[in-house]
Amino acid sequence: MTTDIAQTLATTHPYDVLPDDVRAELAREIAIIDIPAGQLVYAKGAVLTHLYLILSGRIDITDEGGEILSILGPRNSFGERGLMKDGRGAVTAQAAEASRLLAIPAAVFHKLVKDHPRVLRFFDRTRPAAARKQDITTMALSDLMTHAPLTCRPETQLIEAARQMRALGVSCIIATEGEAVRGILTTGDITARAVAEGCPPETPVAQVMTPDPMTLPPTALVADVLHAMIERKITHMPVVAAGRLVGILTQTDLTRFQATSSAALIREIAAAADRATLARIVARIPDLLVQLVGGQNAHQTVTRLITDIADATTRRLLTLAEAKLGPPPVPYLWLACGSQGRQEQTGVSDQDNCLIIDDAVTPPDDAYFAALAKFVSDGLDEAGYFYCPGDMMATNIKWRQPLRVWRDYFRRWINVPNPEAQMLSSVMFDLRPIGGHMALFDDLQAETLAAAAKNSIFMAHLVSNSLKHQPPLGLFRGFATVRSGEHKNTIDLKHNGVVPVVDLGRIYALTGQLPVANTRARILAAIEAGAVSATGGHDLRDAYDMIADTRLAHQAAQIRRGEKPDNFMAPADLSDFERSHLRDAFVVVKTMQNAAAAGRGYLS
C-alpha cells in the first residue's frame, strides 16, 4: 500500500518535485481514509488535523451559506489554506459522493513546506513580493522625510523666523496654529517677497509666507512628492497625518536620488505647450508600464505612478484651457472617477470625470465651463484617455453642475436606490479631486459618506448591485471563460477579476465612512476600522494583489509582443502553478461576496 501511495504522489503536483527518498518517507506517514457520501471532512472554523489529497470520489468546497465554491476530484489537494494560516478550516469540505482520501498529518505537512521551498511556493497563497532595491519610486514618504520640522506661529516676526532657520541650517519654517499647517516660509520667500519688497524685520510671517501649502500624508510615495514638485514648481512638501504636521520633505532631501522615468514624463507634461505635445508624451506610458512591471514593482506602485501621469496631464490641460479662455467666472473643481479616481490606471484607460462648480455660478457662466470641459476632454482623448462610452464626463452638462446640485444628486441616489442610482453610485463614489478649488469636495464627501452609511436599504442595494460582477470560477477546478466572440476562451481580468474586489472595497468604505478611494487602501482601512473582519480582509487583500499583478503582467507581455494591451487573458498562458493560485484568489473573492450578500464578514 505504501508503494501505491508513493506512486500516486510521484504523478501528482507538487509532490512530484520531491526526491524519491523523501517521497517514500512521506508515503509511510500518510493514511488512507474513506468518507461516505454526505459526510463532512471538516467544517469552516474546525481545527485541521490533516492535509487531504483525493484518490477517488468528489469533495465539494462550500462557504458558510452552503454555496459551492469548488468541486474537487482525484489528484486535488485541500485544507492547505487553513493549515498555512491559523490551523482552522477556511471553508467547509463535504463528500458529495463516496470518496477515498490520502490524509497527510498537519505536522508532516508543515515540515514538508519548511524543508522544500518548491512545495511551499505551491501551497503558499500569500505570495510575498520579491525583494526589491528600495528607491525613490517605492519608498514611503515616512521613510525619507525630516521629522519634527521647524515651526513658528503665523504672527512671529520675520526676523525671528529667519534667525531660527539660520540657527538650524534649514531652508524653511512651517507656520502652524496648534498642530495644523497654516503656511510655509522658505529662503526663497524671504528673498523674493521680503527683502526685494523692502519689508521691515517686524513683518509677521503670515504676510510673507505661502498660505495653505500643498501637503501629503506620510503613506504617500516619495515619487508623489517628486511629481508634485516638478509640476507645481515647489521645493518643500509638508507631511501631514490626520490634520497634524509630522514632517517635511525638501528638494535637497531628494538630490541623492535619481528621478524615475515617470518623473521625467511629469516634467515634460508640466512644460507642454499644447495638446499635441501632451499626446506624444503620454504615448510613452506603455513603455513605462513594461519597465515598472519588469522591475517587479507591486501593482499598487505601478498603477499609482501611471495615474500620476494622467493627473498631471489633466492639470496641464486645465492650465492651457484657462490660458485660452481666460480666468473662470467662479471657482470650480475638476474630479476624476473610475480607475483614475481610485489611482488604479493601467495600460488601458478611458476617461471618467466631472466638474463641481461654486454655487455662485449663473446660467451664462456655463458657456465658459462647457468650453473648458470640451478642451480638457478632447485633450485627454487625443492623449489616449478615450471618451467614456457612457458619457460620464464633464462635457455632459449632467456632470457639470453647481455644488448644490451635486449634493442633491447624492441625496437622491442614496434615498431612492433604483438601478440607475446604483450604477451611478458605483462610479461617483470613487471621486477624487484633480485640479481647481479643492474645498468644494470636502464637505460633500463627508456628508455623502455619513448619509450612505446610515441608509441600510441603500447599502443593501449597493451590495446586490456589486454581485453582478462575478469571479470567473468554473466548478470543476477550472475557469469560466468567455464563450464566444473576439475574446472566446479567455477570462476578463477587469470585469470578472479586479472589479468584484473594487465593488467590495467601495462597500467597506461606505460602511466605515472611509474617505479613501483606492481599493487596496480601502481594504486595509476597513480592516483597521473594523468594517471587515481581519481574516477576511487580509485574504481579500492577498487575492486582489494576485489578480491585479496578473493583469499587469498580462498587459506588459502584450506590449512587449507589439500588441495593444487589453484585459482578456487565456488561462492556457499560465503555468499550472499560476492557474492554481489565481483560481484560489477568485475563490476568496467569491467567498467575500457571499459574506457581503449574507450580511457577514464586511460588517463589524
CATH of the domain at 72: 2.60.120.10
80 within domain boundaries = yes
Distance from CA of residue 352 to its chain's centroid? 17
Strands 236-241 and 244-250: antiparallel
- At residue 526 the predicted structure's pLDDT band, cuts being 50, 70 and 90, is very high
pLDDT digits (tens, 9 = 90+) for 554-599: 999 898 888 899 999 998 888 877 888 898 899 999 999 988 888 7
151 with 199, same domain?
A: yes
**CATH at residue 550:** 1.20.120
User: What was the pLDDT predicted at 545?
Assistant: 94
d(CA 342, CA 412) in angstroms, rounded, equals 23
What dihedral angle (degrees, nearest 10) is formed by the CA atoms of 167, 170, 172, 173? -40
352 with 486, same domain?
A: no
pLDDT digits (tens, 9 = 90+) for 384-407: 999 998 899 999 999 999 999 999
d(CA 497, CA 555) in angstroms, rounded, equals 14
Least confident of 66-75, 246-255, 447-456: 66-75
308 with 433, same domain?
A: yes
**CATH at residue 306:** 3.30.460.10
Query: 298 pLDDT exceeds 50?
Result: yes
Least confident of 253-257, 375-379, 490-494: 253-257
- At residue 107 the predicted structure's pLDDT band, cuts being 50, 70 and 90, is very high
Percent of the chain with pLDDT over 70: 95
Residues 296-305 have a mean pLDDT of: 88
129 within domain boundaries = no
User: What was the pLDDT predicted at 475?
Assistant: 62
Query: 331 pLDDT exceeds 70?
Result: yes
- At residue 601 the predicted structure's pLDDT band, cuts being 50, 70 and 90, is very low
User: What was the pLDDT predicted at 476?
Assistant: 60
d(CA 25, CA 35) in angstroms, rounded, equals 25
d(CA 110, CA 108) in angstroms, rounded, equals 6
User: What was the pLDDT predicted at 138?
Assistant: 64
Query: 165 pLDDT exceeds 90?
Result: yes
Query: 129 pLDDT exceeds 60?
Result: no
Residues 326-354 have a mean pLDDT of: 93
16 within domain boundaries = yes
DSSP labels, 312-351: HHHHHHHHHHHHHH-S-SS-EEEEE-HHHHTT---S--B-
User: What was the pLDDT predicted at 36?
Assistant: 94
Query: 501 pLDDT exceeds 90?
Result: yes
Most confidently modeled of 259-263, 334-338, 600-604? 334-338
Least confident of 162-176, 400-414, 469-483: 469-483
Cell numbers linked to 595: 459574506
User: What was the pLDDT predicted at 159?
Assistant: 95
Is the alpha carbon torsion for 336, 339, 345, 349 positive or negative? negative
User: What was the pLDDT predicted at 135?
Assistant: 55
68 with 111, same domain?
A: yes
Query: 237 pLDDT exceeds 50?
Result: yes
Query: 602 pLDDT exceeds 80?
Result: no
435 with 495, same domain?
A: no
298 with 412, same domain?
A: yes
Mean pLDDT of the chain: 88
Percent of the chain with pLDDT over 90: 52
Identify which of 154, 176, 150, 144 has the alpha carbon closest to the alpha carbon of residue 163: 150
- At residue 328 the predicted structure's pLDDT band, cuts being 50, 70 and 90, is very high
- 331, 375 contact by CB (below 8 A): no
114 with 149, same domain?
A: no
148 with 71, same domain?
A: no
Query: 603 pLDDT exceeds 50?
Result: no
246 with 268, same domain?
A: no
DSSP 3-state of 140: strand
Query: 604 pLDDT exceeds 70?
Result: no
414 with 516, same domain?
A: no
Which residue, 397, 416, 446, sits at the end of a domain? 446
User: What was the pLDDT predicted at 132?
Assistant: 47
Query: 130 pLDDT exceeds 70?
Result: no
Q: For the chain, how many structural domains are there in total?
A: 4
294 with 417, same domain?
A: yes
User: What was the pLDDT predicted at 257?
Assistant: 42
User: What was the pLDDT predicted at 39?
Assistant: 93
DSSP 3-state of 480: coil
135 within domain boundaries = no
**CATH at residue 154:** 3.10.580.10
149 with 87, same domain?
A: no
Identify which of 214, 203, 156 has the alpha carbon closest to the alpha carbon of residue 181: 214
Residues 439-461 have a mean pLDDT of: 89
Residues 323-343 have a mean pLDDT of: 95
| Domain range for 205 | 141-221+239-250
